[in-house]
Chain A
Amino acid sequence: MVQADVLIVGGGGAGCSAALHLAQRGVRVVLLERGLVGGQATGVNYGGVRQQGRDPAGLPLARKSREIWSRITELTGADVEFDPCGHLKLARSEADEAELLRWNALAEEYGLRPRMIGRNAIRERHPYFSDVVVAGSLMEEDGSANPRLLAPALARAARAAGAEIREHHAVTSLAHDGRQFEVVAKETRFTAPWLLNCAGFWGGEIAARFGEPVPIEKLHPNMLVTEPLPYFLRESLGVVGGDLYLRQIPRGNVIFGGGRGESDAGITRTRPRPDAAFGAMRRAIAVIPRLADAMVIRSWTGTDGELPDHFPVLGPSATTPGLLHAFGFCGEGFQTGPGVGAVLSDLVMDGATDVPLGAFDIGRFTAAQIAV
Chain B
Amino acid sequence: MKAVVVGAGPAGIRAVEQLVRAGVTPIWIDEAPDGGGRITQRPPAGFSRGASALYGADSGRARRLHATLDALKPRTDWRPDTLVWNIRPEDRVLHTLTNGAAQDEVQYDALILCTGAMDRVLPLPGWTLPGVTSLGGAQVALKSQGVGVGANPVLIGTGPLLWLTALQYAKAGAKPAAVLDTTDLLTKARFGAGMLWNLPTLLRGMGLYAQLKLRGVKLYEDITPLAIEGVNGVTAVHWRDAAWKEHVTPCDAVAMGWGLKPEAQLADLAGVPFDYDGTQQNWVPRKDAAGRSPVAGVYLAGDGAGIGGVDVAELGGARAALALLADAHLPSDMALTHHLDGRLRTERRFRAALEQAFPYPARLAARMDDSTSVCRCEVITAGELRRAAAADAPEMNRAKAFSRVGMGRCQGRLCGTPAAAVLARELQVEVPEVGRLRGQPPVKPVPLQQVD
A264's nearest neighbour on chain B, judged by CB, is: B90
Q: How far is the CA of A15 from the CA of B449 in the complex (A)?
A: 40
> Does A218 sit within 8 A of B, measured CB to CB?
no
Question: A299 to B440, Cβ gap below 8 A?
Answer: yes
Question: A156 to B442, Cβ gap below 8 A?
Answer: no
Question: B392 to A152, Cβ gap below 8 A?
Answer: yes
How many residues of chain A get a CB closer than 8 Å to chain B's CBs? Answer: 28
Question: A152 to B445, Cβ gap below 8 A?
Answer: no
List of B residues within 8 angstroms of A298 by Cβ: 407, 411, 440-442
Question: A284 to B401, Cβ gap below 8 A?
Answer: no
List of A residues within 8 angstroms of B90 by Cβ: 264
9 A-B residue pairs with CB within 8 Å: A269-B271, A271-B441, A272-B440, A278-B450, A285-B448, A293-B449, A294-B448, A296-B448, A297-B445
List of B residues within 8 angstroms of A272 by Cβ: 440-441
Question: A285 to B441, Cβ gap below 8 A?
Answer: no
Query: Closest CB-CB distance, A157 to chain B, in whole Å?
Result: 12
Contact with A along B375-408 (1 / 0, CB 8 A): 0000000000000000110100010011000011
Question: B407 to A292, Cβ gap below 8 A?
Answer: no
List of B residues within 8 angstroms of A282 by Cβ: 450
> Does A116 sit within 8 A of B, measured CB to CB?
no
Query: Closest CB-CB distance, B258 to chain A, in whole Å?
Result: 25
> Does A149 sit within 8 A of B, measured CB to CB?
yes
Query: Which residues of A line the B interface, CB within 8 A?
Result: 36, 43, 148-149, 152, 156, 226-227, 264, 269, 271-272, 274, 278, 281-282, 284-285, 291-300
> Does B103 sit within 8 A of A, measured CB to CB?
yes
Q: Say whether chain B's binding surface is mostly helix, strand, loop, or mixed.
A: loop
A227's nearest neighbour on chain B, judged by CB, is: B409
Contact of A299 among B402, B442, B449 (CB under 8 A): B442
Q: How far is the CA of A292 from the CA of B448 in the complex (A)?
A: 5
Contact with A along B55-97 (1 / 0, CB 8 A): 0000000000000000000000000000000101010000100
Q: Which of B88, B391, B446 has the most C-beta atoms of chain A within 10 angstroms of its own C-beta?
A: B446
> Does B447 sit within 8 A of A, measured CB to CB?
yes
Q: Which of A148, A264, A284 has the most C-beta atoms of chain B within 10 angstroms of its own C-beta?
A: A148
Q: How far is the CA of A180 from the CA of B444 in the complex (A)?
A: 53
Q: Given A269-B271, A297-B411, A299-B441, verify A281-B391 contact (CB < 8 Å).
A: no
List of B residues within 8 angstroms of A297 by Cβ: 408-409, 411, 442, 445
Q: Given A152-B391, A269-B271, A274-B86, verify A296-B442 contact (CB < 8 Å).
A: yes
List of B residues within 8 angstroms of A281 by Cβ: 448-450
A288's nearest neighbour on chain B, judged by CB, is: B448
**Known contacts A292-B447, A295-B409; 10 further A-B pairs (Cβ under 8 A):** A149-B402, A152-B391, A156-B392, A271-B88, A274-B88, A274-B95, A285-B448, A292-B448, A294-B448, A298-B407
Q: Given A152-B392, A274-B95, verify A43-B401 contact (CB < 8 Å).
A: yes
Q: How far is the CA of A274 from the CA of B411 in the complex (A)?
A: 18
Q: How far is the CA of A292 from the CA of B450 in the complex (A)?
A: 8
List of B residues within 8 angstroms of A264 by Cβ: 90
Q: Which of A148, A274, A292 has the most C-beta atoms of chain B within 10 angstroms of its own C-beta?
A: A274
Question: A156 to B449, Cβ gap below 8 A?
Answer: no
Question: A152 to B402, Cβ gap below 8 A?
Answer: yes
